[in-house]
Amino acid sequence: MPKIKSNEKVLAIINEYPDQARDKILAIRSLIIEAAEESDYVDLLTEDVKWSEPSYLTKSGSTIRIAWKASKPDKYGLYFHCQTELIRSFRKVFRQQFTFESNRAIIFNLDEDVPETELKTCLSKALEYHKVKHLPLLGL
């Protein structure tokens, strides 16, 4: 089981979000932690702030950011490094389950349920990216 290195600044940012957005972001945060705990490759999950957004980093993976933005108040998203194969692979496998923004994000409406099993699979691949990037569709 990996060590989780939390950062109080992350929860401070999340607590500034409107109630509905905060609840959704906290649920995603929990899924990220669960995915890290279930991984054979993640030794340390570091929670930090990047670009003023909650971010999750591992040595074995690619950074994941989660955010709600006032400019799109009815949406929130998961953001990935745009030069990886993450979104391209997720789009091929999960195009029916998710809405994507270019090659960098999965975007959700605040009023929709998140397909947790599929999302946790995506989160696992991001957290393990350096171990799976050579596999077709990241091994999805």
For each of the domains in the chain, give its residue range(s) and CATH number, in order of start: 3-131 (3.90.1150.200)
- For residue 107, what are the β-bridge partners? 77, 99
- How far does Cα 119 stand from its chain's mean position? 8
Enumerate residues 6+ apart whose C-beta is below 8 A from 31: 116, 119, 120, 123
What pTM does this model have? 0.93
* pLDDT beneath 50, residues of the chain: none
Instruction: Return the pLDDT at 11.
Output: 94
Query: What would the pLDDT profile of 20-61 be if each residue is shown by its tens digit?
Result: 999 999 999 999 999 999 999 999 999 999 999 999 999 999
